[in-house]
A and B are shown apart, each in its own frame.
Chain A
């Protein structure tokens, strides 16, 4: 009987082993993006932008043209590429320190200009690469190397909900939050990523999918405990789902601001 392939590596992924820690969900996020690029037949016209963070080397794992940005600047970098090559698919892959802290201004303005790029925002509530410091997304009370007694919101403020923040902008966009703590949510998140790339392909709007992700190493937990912690602690503060889509831009704006368009 002829063998039938029922599962394989997406063409948009290389066969390199990743350097991620065991149980780290960066790899799952990569795979979801790669599957979408394959399914939409986009790989050969896609240009990825890598952040500075644990996923800085993601160009070794994706099998498409890739650029490595400076810390936090990926949305500006992607803007430059997309504006000179509007026929290409341009996506930035960023961590929460990269996007929400040092690159806060770049993401805000790329979204506000309505750049036709897609941002994959991996929120693991910590600075992974530099060894577990507090991020703008670190939860209240969460212990990190720079918040050794837990995040004190009196001193550090409350964690930034990037999905919500960007959704207040009047410029139409597709903005959603998924998670990779369970297979069910990985599938739902993939659907969001797919939509995000489709909106870009149709030149409709800026798109960003935030993905709640784990960092077992710096959270000091096993991979299983990490997914459990994500579910019990991150999701209540960072609710999952689509918050903004270009179709409902006007209603969304009214709901957010109380100002009728």
Chain B
């Protein structure tokens, strides 16, 4: 199919429909409202269901009920709304229901602002609600990738009977980019007839619940969930390596929009002969631990720099999974400000030995003005 120019939020909505999820419950909030507006228009055309809920509490608990049917259902919101949805996320995860939540993250805390942010990294990767639970979290950095993530999200949710969160940000939601919906295939919805609530017609009743008053039963349930998260951690780590000239001495870690900015910075510096590369987690949970651990053991890798649109959240996982083998610095912008490639370049230069950058800088500076450096994709 030819590429189509679409706004991120609308493309996300369309991708869900293509993935066979035509049941959607949501409450308006900037910067994700276009998902609801698009689907309010589009879902009736495909015989789907759109309910504008009374609140995010309502929307997420509608998802809880709707997911109990075993059908593909999803919701979207932005940061303050996701806080309200954290209640349902805890319940849905315990009840092991497949569904997809989208967070088009905006700047917090509190009402914060409506501009792009990655301030909800902790919220997304740690249990945002009560109890021991995890979501599978995917972080797209382009509209095309958001579309692809939406499509695989439903398969992952089905496979593990666990909610999947797409962690986008206001920039991805609002930006217009060409998208190709045929670039990725979505699987057929799984058969959930062994547990879904569809009416006890000629079979034993199905009960979907999260209450385990007996501590031994509750512990067994928690062990079962822990095993599932371990399986997810083993099989679902995803990342991208970008740039570098062979033996990068500095590795930038960044995801989503921040990673996109870092790619531009890396292109410039690689063009000047400065050997640095990007490690971009695509799955935020599970964090791509194996790959970053290997990377941190390489002798040529001298240090890490985590670039984030928050006060430094993912850096904690970088420290954890590199076991603090190499020094780790942080550069971030907050409040809805997307860092510019220039400020990322400055942050990198400040970390590198003066001689190396200065020497590399002069001859290469001319080159970058004339020719776009070739970035290596691995």
The list of the 5 closest CB pairs from A to B, nearest first, reads A80-B65, A80-B66, A80-B62, A109-B54, A77-B65
From B73, B199, B201, B210, A84 is in contact (CB under 8 Å) with B73
From B25, B54, B61, B200, A64 is in contact (CB under 8 Å) with B200
Name the segment of A38-46, A169-177, A183-191, A205-213 touching the other chain: A38-46
Beta-carbon contact of A64 and B211 below 8 Å: no
Shortest CB-to-CB span from B265 to chain A, Å, is 44
Shortest CB-to-CB span from B131 to chain A, Å, is 12
Q: Does A180 contact B (CB under 8 A)?
A: no
In the complex, what residues of A have CB within 8 A of residue B25's CB? 80, 83
From B55, B63, B66, B199, A105 is in contact (CB under 8 Å) with B55
Shortest CB-to-CB span from A189 to chain B, Å, is 25
Q: Does A73 contact B (CB under 8 A)?
A: yes
The chain B residue with its CB closest to the CB of A19 is: B213
Beta-carbon contact of B205 and A63 below 8 Å: yes
Shortest CB-to-CB span from A111 to chain B, Å, is 11
A-B contact pairs, 6 of them (CB 8 A): A57-B211, A76-B62, A79-B58, A80-B73, A84-B23, A85-B198
Beta-carbon contact of A68 and B210 below 8 Å: yes
The chain A residue with its CB closest to the CB of B90 is: A70
Beta-carbon contact of A67 and B68 below 8 Å: yes
Q: Does B41 contact A (CB under 8 A)?
A: no
The chain A residue with its CB closest to the CB of B210 is: A68
Beta-carbon contact of A76 and B69 below 8 Å: no
Beta-carbon contact of B205 and A81 below 8 Å: no
Q: Complex Cα distance A79/B64, Å?
A: 10
In the complex, what residues of B have CB within 8 A of residue A64's CB? 199-200, 205
Given A44-B199, A47-B197, A70-B87, answer yes or no on A77-B62 (Cβ-Cβ < 8 Å): yes
Beta-carbon contact of A46 and B199 below 8 Å: yes
Q: Does A100 contact B (CB under 8 A)?
A: no
Q: Complex Cα distance A214/B54, Å?
A: 32
Q: Which B residues from 140 to 163 make CB contacts under 8 A with A?
A: none
Beta-carbon contact of B54 and A70 below 8 Å: no
Question: Which residues of B does A touch, CB under 8 Å?
Answer: 23, 25, 49, 51, 53-55, 57-59, 61-69, 71, 73, 87-88, 91, 95, 197-202, 205-211
| Chain A interface, >50% SS class | helix
Beta-carbon contact of A76 and B205 below 8 Å: no
Beta-carbon contact of B61 and A81 below 8 Å: no
Given A44-B200, A80-B66, A84-B66, answer yes or no on A106-B205 (Cβ-Cβ < 8 Å): no
Q: Complex Cα distance A83/B69, Å?
A: 10
Beta-carbon contact of A69 and B61 below 8 Å: yes
The chain B residue with its CB closest to the CB of A85 is: B69
Q: Does A251 contact B (CB under 8 A)?
A: no
From A68, A83, A84, A105, B208 is in contact (CB under 8 Å) with A68
Q: Interface centre among A45, A50, A84, A106, by most B CB within 10 Å? A: A84
Given A44-B200, A47-B199, A77-B62, answer yes or no on A83-B209 (Cβ-Cβ < 8 Å): no
In the complex, what residues of A have CB within 8 A of residue B64's CB? 69-70, 73, 76-77, 80
Fill in one digit per residue for A153-195: 1 if any B CB lies within 8 Å of its CB, else 0.
0000000000000000000000000000000000000000000
In the complex, what residues of B have CB within 8 A of residue A122's CB? none
Q: Does A66 contact B (CB under 8 A)?
A: yes
Q: Complex Cα distance A59/B211, Å?
A: 11
In the complex, what residues of A have CB within 8 A of residue B197's CB? 47, 65-67, 81
Q: Complex Cα distance A172/B73, Å?
A: 28
Q: Complex Cα distance A57/B61, Å?
A: 19
Q: Does A78 contact B (CB under 8 A)?
A: yes
Given A77-B65, A80-B62, A83-B23, answer yes or no on A65-B200 (Cβ-Cβ < 8 Å): yes
Q: Interface centre among A62, A85, A113, by most B CB within 10 Å? A: A85
The chain B residue with its CB closest to the CB of A90 is: B65
In the complex, what residues of A have CB within 8 A of residue B208's CB? 66-68
Q: Complex Cα distance A48/B9, Å?
A: 35
From B54, B59, B65, B95, A49 is in contact (CB under 8 Å) with B65
From A84, A85, A105, B57 is in contact (CB under 8 Å) with A105
